[in-house]
Amino acid sequence: MEPVVFVAVLAAASMHAGWNALVKVGLDRYSSILLLSLSGAGICLVLLPFFPFPAPAALPWLLTSALIHACYKLTLIKAYEHGDLSQVYPLARGTAPLIVALVGALFLGEVTTLTKVLAILSIGLGVCLMSLKGGVVGRMPPKAFGFALATAACTASYTLIDGIGARLSGSASGFIILLTIADGLFTCAYALATRGPMAFMRLTPAWRSGLTAGGMSLASYWIAVWAFTKAPIALVAALRETSVLFAMLIAILFLKERAGPSRIFAACMIACGVVLMRV
């Protein structure tokens, strides 16, 4: 992985943790996610004329990914309803790079070196370990655990699909812009069907913060999709999950959640993985 890609993905990780924290502290997490989707889609509608349209071969991958992204947001909301940020976020993200690495090696021919495999394992296992103990509610509630695993499955799925789709598209930027618009349409359709027009009327007072979170989310994943075309998907996916370090800092400093020795050890494992990835 080239240095510029490496640094860009780390920057994307910090932004990803940031918008997740905004969702966690929102009074209505469902509305926060809906506003985030609307903001991202609105930004992309403005940018759409300035970027090339993805190749037709990428469109089935794009539409499938948009559906999975919408499911990911719904399971993430449910997980946050039952668990704290510093528990849910690591588990929801940590298992995904391990799945991506396995599928990438078996089906995409992304055979990597032993050092890179150790880096992926160190980051993935460190992220998972961070969710096992501590937090405001102590042991992780079963419902939070289940929804976090469902979120992880969605994460692994859309990561692989987007990596393939972006490579087929001929334009990573065109792919992510159209993907964000489609994701926004699916999310809005679900909101309208389940909560009616009132779901959108509740968003007006918070449009400024929603626009900020939507911009952070879009920029974070835009970088990731671009990186999928420059480096092995598994390496990008693993490095992106260093966002849990930023999430842990946010949880400790601003949300007043606890971090015991196990999470500090997990943070060291993740840091070792990052170092190994640059060896």
Q: What is the per-residue pLDDT across 1-46, written as a single tens digit (0 to 9) for each?
A: 788 888 888 788 777 777 666 655 455 677 777 888 888 999 999 9
Q: Which two tokens stand for residue 70?
A: 């919408």
Best-predicted range by mean pLDDT (121-135, 146-160, 259-273): 146-160
pLDDT score, position 120: 79
Tens-place pLDDT, residues 86-113: 677 677 777 777 778 777 777 776 666 7
Residue 262's nearest CA partner among 96, 129, 75 is: 129
pLDDT score, position 49: 93
What span, in angstroms and rounded, lies between the C-alpha atoms of 47 and 61? 21
Tens-place pLDDT, residues 217-272: 888 899 999 999 998 888 888 888 777 777 777 767 766 666 667 777 877 787 78
What span, in angstroms and rounded, lies between the C-alpha atoms of 261 and 254? 19
- Comparing 125 with 44, which gets the higher pLDDT? 44
φ and ψ of 120, to 5 deg: -60, -45
Residue 55's nearest CA partner among 171, 188, 162, 161 is: 171
pLDDT score, position 56: 94
C-beta of residue 54 within 8 angstroms of C-beta of residue 171 = yes
Buried/exposed code over 127-142 (b: 16+ C-beta within 10 A; e: otherwise) = bbbbbebbbeeeebbe
pTM exceeds 0.75 for this model: yes
Looking at the chain, the whole-number percentage of residues with pLDDT higher than 90 is 24
Looking at the chain, the whole-number percentage of residues with pLDDT higher than 70 is 83
What span, in angstroms and rounded, lies between the C-alpha atoms of 218 and 57? 23
81 pLDDT band (50/70/90 cuts)?
A: confident
What span, in angstroms and rounded, lies between the C-alpha atoms of 177 and 54? 10
Give the number of domains in the chain.
Answer: 1
137 pLDDT band (50/70/90 cuts)?
A: very low
Domain assignment of residue 222, given as a range: 3-278
What span, in angstroms and rounded, lies between the C-alpha atoms of 236 and 146? 25
Q: H/E element holding 177?
A: helix 172-195
